[in-house]
Amino acid sequence: MIAVSLLGLAGAALAQDIPANMPKRKPGLWEMQTSGMGGQSQTTKFCLDADTDTAMYKMGTHMSGQMCSKFKIDVQGSNKVVTDAVCKINTPNGGVDMTSHSETTYQGDTSYATQGHITYNPAIMGHADMAITSTGRWVGQCAAGQKPGDMIMPNGQTMNIKDMQGH
């Protein structure tokens, strides 16, 4: 469920060409904590370099281009990104209209915090709306054996974003 919501937030943010003044993240190992429904928190780690950051944006652009009818990304000042989107997601029970709004504030290139709100029509699993919070922070160099694009999911599984795109 959180993955669907994050896809909405990330997809909305990445559905268009990224503005040239989009804040950049420092290369290395990042840890992202996300919480939403019921206060559940999930931690994902990923190894990032400039090419991987671009690859993640391209993947989001491709996915949201298929799902979203409306999106807007606005970089405000040097450290704030506001996104709004209207998307249609397919679920086992049929199509669901999803509207999202998020605001991400960057602290330099080593951390960021996102506050978001998503509404679903019809409700998904009894939830018509959800608040999402996400924080990301640079924790150091990528671990030995990690390559850019490696993501360690909350369940411990590792996958590579670039491999998913066929790069």
pLDDT of 14 = 41
- Give the CB-side neighbour count of residue 28, counting CA atoms within 13 A: 13
Q: Which pLDDT score, from 0 to 100, does residue 68 have?
A: 82
The mean pLDDT value for 131-158 works out to: 91
Hey, what are 59's tokens?
Answer: 């993947």
pTM: 0.80
For residues 47 and 158, the answer to whether their CB atoms sit within 8 Å is: no
Q: Tell me which of 61 and 97 has the higher pLDDT.
A: 97
Tokens of 123: 């409700």
* Consecutive H or E run containing 38: none
DSSP labels, 71-121: EEEEEETTTEEEEEEEEEEEETTEEEEEEEEEEEEEETTTEEEEEEEEEEE
C-alpha 128: how far from chain center: 20
Minimum mean pLDDT range among 75-79, 87-91, 118-122, 148-152: 87-91
Q: Which domain holds residue 121?
A: 2-164
Instruction: Specify the higher pLDDT residue, 33 or 53.
Output: 33
pLDDT for the residue numbered 15:
41
Give me the mean pLDDT over the 134-138 stretch.
94
Number of domains in the chain: 1
How many Å apart are CA 145 and CA 133, to the nearest integer? 30
Residue 113 predicted with pLDDT over 90: yes
The gap from C-alpha 4 to its chain's centroid, in whole angstroms, comes to 10
For residues 121-130, give the mean pLDDT. 88
Beta strands 94-107; 150-152: pairing state: unpaired
User: Is the model more confident about 125 or about 31?
Assistant: 31
